[in-house]
Structure 1
Amino acid sequence: MKRSHKRYLRLDDLRFTICCAVLALFFSPVQRIYAQDTLPGCPRLQETTLDCDTLTVYGQRTDTLPIPLITLPAAFQQLGENELIDSVGILKPFWEKLRMLRLGVTTDTIRIVHIGDSHIRGHIFPRTTGEQLQKVFGALSYTDMGINGAFCVTFTRPERVEEIAALHPDLVILSFGTNESHNRRYSSMLHYQQMNELVRMLRESLPGVPMLMTTPPGSYESFRQRRRRRTYKINPRTSVAVQTIRRFADANGLAVWDMYEAFGGIRRACLNWQEAGLMRPDHIHYLPEGYVLQGEMFYRALLKAYNDYCNQ
């Protein structure tokens, strides 16, 4: 009886040992998987840098913004694409700064400086854009610096470049071309060289700061033959200046907003403004409503480019 009892005990011990071994083999791979594939910790917001693609980090795309509708005058026909052209993605760091500001990751003020001719000196166009951006993004400064009758070469003085640099901009916008194109001896080569000099000086004072160019809206030139009334015809050099600006921006890594094309280009830009009654009697400058419309369209182009960046 004692031997039989011991035999049963040994069998029970053997079964227990086998069961333990099977269970160990069954669970050990799962333990190894968890040990090898530990999930990374979530990054803290304050540790996120502005030069990374935080869309990938957070896996969310809720920061795109609705683009407001604009009621254009009934006279406006054959409009072009209202968009920013940024073939090398020079504005990506700027869009990321805006995104971080909107998400609350940073509270640093983003600064935009917009320089140009009398269209900018009148304040209405740039301030319309600036106010719209401030409503959406909050801590954003938009400074306009325009000079009546200015060419881009007007700003190539060291003191003017220093004045721009002292504002510590995150983006510089250049709006010229109207006065260059009103020179009846206009030279595309000279215009290109003058833009190159201005951009060179700005880049030396503001390394790494992206720049965006805008094209002129279009204008007329006037004629008076003997004692006849002054007559106006579309300035044929505007389209040449626009192409020179676009060519320069593309060759030198600048973004561009082609306002001339957006409002109808060589076929309709001037006619649209004139027939809508938004040009001043000099057929060069615009009524306040015209400049407001330019500012709103520029804002929409900026917002669309920002949304495109967020959706990448």
Structure 2
Amino acid sequence: MTEGGPTMKRSHKEDLRLYDLRCMICCAVLVLIAAIRPLHAQDILPGSLSCHTGGADCDTLCLYSQRTDTVSVPLITFPAAFRQMKENVLTDSLGILNPFWEKLRLSRLGASADTLRIVHVGDSHIRGHIFPRTTGALMQDTFGAVSYTDVGINGAFCTTFTRPDRIADIAALHPDLLILSFGTNESHNRRYNTMLHYRQMDDLVRMLREKLPNVPMLMTTPPGSYESFRQRRRRRTYKINPRTAVAVQTIRRYADENGLAVWDMYEILGGIHRACLNWQEAGLMRPDHVHYLPDGYRLQGELFCQALLKAYNDYVEY
């Protein structure tokens, strides 16, 4: 019995320690359970985000989610001879073309059943049909309900269309967008005068606006061209027409000062240094060094459509 006494005391102390340990464990478990219980709320799916609050991130997410009406912009393969080109974009800092882009957007989304009418007026580059009809076919493939009408006259200056009957014919087409492509023939006059060219453009645009007051207008600049020289008993030689660059600047200045958009094909395809050489070295110009082979005009039409599609996407993404 004496020997068993100390053993009983040690066993009792151990029991007390075990009891205390169990109590501590139970308390710890209860604390953990209490801490974990509020996390059950995470099982509930959060409500949809609202963009009516002031969070910048939320606004960005909502804008991104609405960008479903952009279109694919095709890539264009250039001939190896083409160098020193610029970005193929329209210049429209005032948003002159925005009403037209909005009509296109609504048509593409099915909110409008109207056929949008594009009318392209110009000189022999337009009269040859390949350039404008390439653009028109690509626009129709992209947007569907688009008609693209070209009205060109060989050898035309912008003043060629200032006759009242020709203005009436253009107005009768009821365009939603009017494109004006001149400058080649103006710049081939060796007595070319920038002030006269400016006034002639103004006469045409003023007469068109009287008949079509709410129609946005877009000007294009001419591609590069050469002028020819021939001395007695010598072969004809060709030299880059130096007045084309001056005519291009006059067109751009007029458009900027009078609320027209511009597609500067001349500058985009090489400007004063390469606009002529690119086409000539690629073998895309006709022997007269003014007009272009079908592949050249098709490339111009593809480029113009690409610039239009980029501008449309810029509008719907804004």
With normalisation by structure 1, the TM-score equals 0.81
Q: Aligned ranges for residues 1-312 of structure 1 at < 5 Å?
A: 60-312=66-318
> What one-letter code is carried by the residue in structure 2 that aligns with 1:106?
S
- Higher Cα Rg: structure 1 or 2? 2
For residues 58 and 172 of structure 1, the distance between their equivalents in structure 2, rounded to whole angstroms, comes to: 32
Does the residue aligned with 2:120 lie in a helix, a strand or coil? strand
| CA offsets 1:2-47 (integer angstroms, 9 cap, x no match) | xxxxxxxxxxxxxxxxxxxxxxxxxxxxxxxxxxxxx9xxxxxxxx
Does the residue aligned with 1:85 lie in a helix, a strand or coil? coil
> What one-letter code is carried by the residue in structure 2 that aligns with 1:294?
Q
> What one-letter code is carried by the residue in structure 2 that aligns with 1:219?
S
- RMSD between superposed Cα atoms in Å: 1.4
Aligned 8 A contact 1:81 1:261 in 2: no
Identity of aligned pairs, percent?
A: 78
Does the residue aligned with 2:178 lie in a helix, a strand or coil? strand
Shift >3 Å, 4+ stretches: 56-59
For residues 104 and 57 of structure 1, the distance between their equivalents in structure 2, rounded to whole angstroms, comes to: 21
* Structure 2: 5+ residue stretches without partners: 1-51, 53-61
Q: How many residues align?
A: 258
> What one-letter code is carried by the residue in structure 1 that aligns with 2:75?
L
Does the residue aligned with 1:73 lie in a helix, a strand or coil? coil
1:274–1:57 Cα change, 3 Å? closer
For residues 186 and 144 of structure 1, the distance between their equivalents in structure 2, rounded to whole angstroms, comes to: 27
* Structure 1: 5+ residue stretches without partners: 1-38, 40-55
1:102–1:195 Cα change, 3 Å? same
For residues 130 and 73 of structure 1, the distance between their equivalents in structure 2, rounded to whole angstroms, comes to: 23
